[in-house]
Structure 1
Amino acid sequence: MATKLQVPASSSIVNVSIIDSTSRINNLPYYIAMTPLYPGYEHGFVPCYVFLIHHPLANTRLLYDLDLRKNNTHLNPHLVKKMVPLQLGFSIEKDTADILHENQLGLRAIDTIILSHHHFDHAGDTTKFPPTTNLLVGPGTKAKYRPGYPADPDNQGSTSDTAIRGFCDICGFKVFDCFGDGSLYILHTPGHTANHLSALARTTPATAEENSTFIFMAGDLVHSGMCFRPDSHIDVLITIPNRALNTPPPSLSIHHHHHHHHLLLLLLLLLSPPYSSETEPDDPRTQPFSLIARSVEEDSAVSQANATTLAARFDADSDVLAIYVRDDRLLDSGGVLEFFPKATPTNEWKGKGWKIRGHWRFRDKMVRAFEAAGGANDR
């Protein structure tokens, strides 16, 4: 992974802890997130991550996203009605505020909540936080998405989600240096919504031998690694279970005209050895499995362009751990991440091998999908 992120040098860092919010969205139809779909890979569950960010010198704490909330009576009935056909299952054990309380971190210690965007599955329950907690949101939030339901009956957002004092819209900033010292950058990454924000946290400073390391909090910039992996900037390093190699691939029917080489691409990734990044531009090993679907995107073309940037500038860099908020590959089958409060902070992610261990884990599901589709064809 040769590409290096061009970020100004700094000795300042923030400590990042990843909170498993305990929430799950079950039976999620993947067609709303990506296209094409692959047989056996049509539905799944996704987790909900929250990021606790601590600036040690300023002794300031921030949260990136809150995810789902237990009490959903605030939701617009029109939004609830729209979700009924999807047959989603929501499992919500605790609010983020409750998790912080249980681990002796008072809510007054949280200076700012950064919302990746205004959707209910990210805004959480801001009403549990004191009025001293600020709310940082993306460009255009006030003009386009407020005041929310019920003040605006047609708005899918909720008035209560932005009812904290110190409401701040960073309109005009493509990149916002949060503390002015290069430790935390807020990036405007529109597409999923016009006001979408991502965050880049410096987790270790550079030394004579090593570059700085970063955690990139992508939010809903993407919903699956299949929408930006593989990429011409990313070396494919895969080990495949013998059971997959010994199973003849089934005949698959993929109902989508984009990139007719998807099946070939899957076979190459499953069966070929590692390859150099010096591949041809049309090499199927350098094209993502799927594209971002239009269903839940305000601008899917911008979303896909940003996903390509994510792959080329963040995901391809061995010094950057990119995590999107629904990143189930890091959680299932034993998981990769260590969660708050057991791992506080998670700055040593590179030494622990999290990126290497988790990078291609979504491929395991595709192997299982291949096998499931093969079994279906045999019946």
Structure 2
Amino acid sequence: MPLNASFDGPAGAAAKVSIIDSGFRLSGLPTSMLLTPSVEYYEKLPELGSWSFLVESSKGRKVLFDLGGPSDISLFPPQVAEAVEKADAKIEVTRTVADILIENGIEPAHIDSVILSHGHWDHVGDITVFPSTTELVVGPGFKEVYYPGYPTKPDVELSERYFEGRNVREIDFSSGNKSCIKYGAFRAIDFFGDGSFFLLDTPGHAVGHIAGLARTTTSPDTFIFMGGDVCHHGGEIRPSPYLPIPSQVRSFHSSSLNSHHTSYLDGDLYREWNIQRGRKPNDTFFDPILAVDISQAIQSIKEVQEADAQDNVFFVFAHDMQICGVVDFFPESANNWKSKEWKGKALWSFLGDFTPAALSNH
């Protein structure tokens, strides 16, 4: 399905894009913290990563979209560790995004900007390893809520050290900003000015939540959509009126980053089970819970669904574990995602999470 009027924007150059797995893993989170309605036999979420994206413009400017989870939770205000403990969750970290960049010949000083989808602790890593010349880019309203950080603002998740000596630039999506355009349903900013990378206004989950859209090829155009926490599970964005569950679903299972196999699932089984749960045939399996504005979060999901249905748009949210064993992580490029069929392999694999419940009600 080509880009249509529901997801249309200006032409431009291609960016270089890589998906970075820092090794951060968060396990044991109750599903009820993030998603509703509940699913039998699915009381806890599987182990979650938090992806970062390296984006390079046509002229060589390098930025990071999100920094993944932190290597040391003690660097954050005490309420972060308290929340993890209260949730009975477990954190494991092998390295940081900066470590991985350095290992592959990219010094932190080479990064012009770190862009945060939002300010939650499992996305912000540790920006202090980047020099003061690396600016911090955030969404609308971020400064008012977070700046100048804990303890001056006792309830926020970021310490003052996160902002000290660093330019913090807040994106302006207002109608008065002549640089703000429309890309599909979204208010957007052409970040590099060459049409290769756009920041999109996707409010609801957190104050200042933004997404990224990188053009990965031209003639024809393909894109990677960096969703942040627009959703936390594939069943929170699919199915949709634009992307119903097919009768036969390709499922690409991964037991490790290097071990995987393909199987096929009966899409009709999951559709019928979802209807038995009180949902409509093309309703998502879940609705969001964790949001500063639920109605805005749902609206953002609806707008993303239009992009998600395009076969030249690869939507990857920050905790999308279905891409493990499918994509090539950094230092490999993600630009050839379409020719490598990553989207088709990962798109419906999340249905496997529901198999015990669907079969028990069949």
Per the normalisation by structure 1, the TM-score is 0.81
Deviations 1:10-50 (A, max 9, x none): 2x110100011101110121111110111111212111111
Specify the code of the residue in structure 2 equivalent to 1:309: E
- Could you tell me how far apart the structure 1 residues matched to 2:345 and 2:165 are? 39
SS of equivalent residue, structure 2 residue 339: coil
2:350 partner amino acid: F
Q: In the alignment, is the contact (CA less than 8 A) between 2:19 and 2:51 conserved in 1? A: yes
Deviation by residue 1:121-171 (Cα, 9 ceiling, x = unmatched): 111100001111111111111112211212322333322223352221113
Q: Over alpha carbons, which structure has the higher Rg?
A: 1
Deviation at 1:369, TM superposition (A): 4.6
Aligned residue for 2:230? 221
- What does the per-residue CA deviation read over 1:176-225, in whole Å, with 9 as the maximum and x for residues that have no partner? 1111121110012110112111000011112xxx3x10000000111111
- Among candidates 323, 326, 330, match of residue 330 of structure 1: 323
Q: Does 1:362 align with 2:350?
A: yes
- Say whether the 8 Å CA contact 1:134–1:164 is kept in structure 2: no
Q: Is 1:288–2:278 an aligned residue pair?
A: no
Matched, 1:200 2:178: no
Q: How far apart are the structure 1 equivalents of 2:319 and 2:62? A: 23
Distance 1:105 1:40, change over 3 A: same
In structure 2, distance between residues paired with 1:240 and 1:348? 20
Paired residues of 1:40 and 1:370 also in contact (CA < 8 A): no
1:206-355 alignment runs, 5 A limit? 206=219, 210=220, 212-237=221-246, 238-239=248-249, 263-265=273-275, 284-293=280-289, 296-312=290-306, 314-331=307-324, 335-341=325-331, 343=332, 345-355=333-343
Given the superposition, is the C-alpha separation of residues 364 and 65 from structure 1 closer, same or farther in structure 2, using an over 3 Å criterion? same
Preserved CA contact (<8 Å) 2:55 2:64 = yes
Q: Alpha-carbon deviation of 1:318?
A: 0.5
The corresponding residue for 1:151 is 152
Match of residue 37 from structure 1: 38
Query: Conserved in 2, the CA contact under 8 Å of 1:126 and 1:164?
Result: no
Query: In structure 1, what is the Cα distance between the partners aligned to 2:162 and 2:200?
Result: 21
- Taking the aligned partners of 2:133 and 2:40, their CA distance within structure 1 comes to 50
SS of the residue 1:90 aligns to? strand
Distance 1:50 1:285 in 2: 33
- The count of aligned residue pairs is 333
For residue 192 of structure 2, what is the aligned residue in structure 1?
A: 179
Q: 2 CA distance for matches of 1:309 and 1:109?
A: 34
Q: Distance in 2 between matches of 1:221 and 1:367?
A: 24
Partner of 1:78 in structure 2?
79
Structure 1 equivalent of residue 254 of structure 2: none
Counterpart of 2:124 in structure 1 is 123
- Cα distance change of structure 1 residues 150 and 358 upon mapping to structure 2, 3 Å threshold: same
Which residue of structure 2 lines up, in the alignment, with residue 46 of structure 1? 48
Q: In the TM superposition, what is the alpha-carbon distance from 1:347 to its structure 2 partner?
A: 0.7
CA contact (8 A) 2:250 2:345 kept: no
For 1:322-348, what per-residue CA distance to the aligned partner results, in whole angstroms no more than 9, with x for missing partners? 0000001112xxx2111011x2x2111
Cα deviations by residue, 1:219-241 (Å, 9 ceiling, x for unpaired): 01111111121111114333379
2:107 aligned residue: 106
CA distance in 1, matches of 2:272, 2:73: 40
Letter in 1 for 2:23: T
CA–CA separation in structure 1 for the residues paired with 2:242 and 2:196: 25
* Secondary structure at 1:155 match in 2: coil
In the alignment, the residues of structure 2 paired with residue 88 and residue 192 of structure 1 have an alpha-carbon distance, to the nearest angstrom, of 21
Gaps of 5+ in 2: 175-179, 181-186, 252-262
- With normalisation by structure 2, the TM-score equals 0.85
Preserved CA contact (<8 Å) 2:3 2:312: no
Query: What secondary structure, in the 3-state scheme, does the structure 1 residue paired with 2:49 have?
Result: strand
